[in-house]
């Protein structure tokens, strides 16, 4: 009871709220601009907040982290370039909706279900951190391999028309991931003698290139360079209508939290798995998946935001970060009174 009171006391602390808000604004900026990653922003912020008190530092860093993950959906929906890797799946239905002039609707669904996902993940983190960590610890290399394989097969099913083309795109993704130093022998692989490729290809530049440059090529090749700016029409969408997908979103949140709790897996995997599940369980989507189905946005955004809570679970209970951002946040805890690990 006293713990709950302690948590609730932060909600009435103006300083805490202000720092959270400042972090959220920074996260909104960083997340929505393709090329600026949340991990980069938190890395910069951790160095700034190094001398701050634990509560102040965490309020700001978590504001950046949570809102940064959400705001990746903004550019994904509006310009078809995901602001964060976990928003890749949101582009599949978000951008088609935006092209139809329904970007406001897409943004509203993304905002509501990102909020639900974040809250769900953080509640689960508070209540079930210990049992989920025990499950995550039982994962062996073979289980990770199977999870990755499962994720790759879902990539194939994401392309609505051709499974083979989906698999080819997955193979291209693996090819790009193989570039760099081999993790076993340590020799350069597929670098073709180029020094800069030895470090591999980072996810964020690859995403910006693949989505942004592809968009430029499409516009150029089809001769539609006159510019197609979709207006944001503020249509009234009742909250009841949006929340029709609530129970499905809880299912996606469960997937997101569990995947987030696995070190190494993260938002993109969770979003892909949830999207694949959405295609299976939603029998009558508002539009076909890939052509502007809000159910696709719900699946992606619920899962990738629920990942935040999930990723914090192994970090807090075992001091093992669930993803890149929690790895950067870890020092915030390590040098404070609430050191993560078995004594947490």
Q: Which residues bind other proteins (CB under 8 A)?
A: 40, 44, 162, 164-165, 167-168, 171, 174-175, 178, 182, 184-185, 187, 189-190, 213, 216-217, 219-223, 225-226
Q: What is the DSSP letter of 213?
A: I
Q: Which is nearer to other proteins, 7 or 174 (CB)?
A: 174
Cβ 29 to other proteins, closest distance in Å? 10
Q: Which is nearer to other proteins, 294 or 324 (CB)?
A: 324
Q: Which is nearer to other proteins, 8 or 185 (CB)?
A: 185
Q: Which is nearer to other proteins, 5 or 221 (CB)?
A: 221
Cβ 178 to other proteins, closest distance in Å? 6
Cβ 82 to other proteins, closest distance in Å? 20
Q: Which is nearer to other proteins, 130 or 162 (CB)?
A: 162
* Assigned token pair, 117: 């996902």
DSSP calls for 230-297: ---------HHHHGGGHHHHHHHHHHHHHHHHSTT--HHHHHHHHHHHHHHH-SS-SS-TTSS-HHHH
Q: Is the dihedral of CA 9, 15, 21, 22 positive or negative?
A: negative
Cβ 225 to other proteins, closest distance in Å? 5
Cβ 184 to other proteins, closest distance in Å? 6
Q: Which is nearer to other proteins, 42 or 274 (CB)?
A: 42
Q: Which residue has the tokens 């062996």?
A: 140
Alpha carbon 228 to chain centroid distance? 28
82 near 272, Cβ under 8 Å? Answer: no
Rounded distance between C-alpha atoms, residue 320 and residue 315, angstroms: 5
84 near 77, Cβ under 8 Å? Answer: no
Q: Which is nearer to other proteins, 126 or 200 (CB)?
A: 200
Cβ 5 to other proteins, closest distance in Å? 39
143 near 330, Cβ under 8 Å? Answer: no
* Assigned token pair, 307: 């990942």
Cβ 155 to other proteins, closest distance in Å? 12
Buried b (16+ CB within 10 A) or exposed e, 135-144: ebeebeeeee
Collapsing DSSP to helix, strand or coil, 188 comes out as: strand
34 near 81, Cβ under 8 Å? Answer: yes
Closest CA to 310 of 155, 117, 38, 160: 117
Helix (H) or strand (E) holding 180: strand 180-181
Q: Which is nearer to other proteins, 200 or 285 (CB)?
A: 200
Closest CA to 300 of 261, 343, 259: 259
Cβ 231 to other proteins, closest distance in Å? 21
Cβ 28 to other proteins, closest distance in Å? 16
Q: Which is nearer to other proteins, 40 or 330 (CB)?
A: 40
Looking at the DSSP bridge assignments, the partners of residue 214 are none
Collapsing DSSP to helix, strand or coil, 60 comes out as: helix
């Amino acid at each position: 009871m006293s713990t709950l009171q302690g948590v609730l006391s932060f909600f009435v602390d103006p300083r805490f709220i202000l720092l959270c808000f400042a972090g959220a604004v920074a996260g909104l900026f960083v997340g929505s601009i393709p090329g600026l990653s949340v991990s980069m922003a938190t890395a910069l912020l951790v160095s700034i907040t190094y001398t701050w008190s634990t509560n102040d530092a965490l309020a700001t860093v978590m504001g950046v982290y949570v809102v940064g993950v959400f705001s990746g959906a903004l550019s994904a929906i509006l310009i078809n370039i995901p602001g964060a890797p976990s928003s890749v799946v949101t582009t599949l239905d978000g951008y088609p909706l935006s092209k139809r002039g329904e970007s406001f609707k897409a943004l509203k669904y993304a905002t509501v279900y990102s909020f639900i996902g974040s809250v769900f993940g953080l509640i689960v983190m508070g209540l079930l951190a210990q049992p989920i960590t025990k499950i995550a610890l039982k994962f062996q290399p073979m289980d990770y391999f199977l999870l990755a394989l499962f994720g790759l097969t879902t990539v194939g099913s994401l392309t609505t028309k051709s499974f083979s083309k989906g698999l080819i795109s997955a193979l291209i993704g693996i090819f790009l991931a193989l570039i760099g130093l081999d993790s076993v022998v340590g020799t350069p692989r597929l670098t073709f003698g180029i020094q800069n490729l030895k470090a591999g290809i980072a996810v964020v530049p690859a995403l910006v290139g693949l989505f942004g440059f592809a968009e430029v090529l499409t516009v150029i090749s089809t001769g539609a360079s006159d510019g197609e700016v979709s207006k944001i029409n503020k249509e009234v969408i009742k909250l009841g209508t949006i929340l029709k997908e609530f129970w499905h979103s809880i299912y996606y949140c469960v997937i997101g939290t569990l995947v987030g709790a696995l070190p190494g897996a993260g938002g993109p995997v969770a979003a892909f798995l949830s999207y694949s599940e959405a295609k299976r369980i939603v029998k009558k989507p508002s539009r076909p998946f890939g052509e502007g189905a809000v159910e696709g946005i719900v699946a992606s955004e619920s899962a990738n935001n629920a990942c935040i809570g999930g990723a914090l679970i192994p970090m807090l209970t075992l001091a093992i970060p669930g993803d890149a951002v929690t790895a950067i946040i870890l020092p915030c805890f390590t040098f404070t009174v609430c050191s993560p690990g078995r004594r947490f």
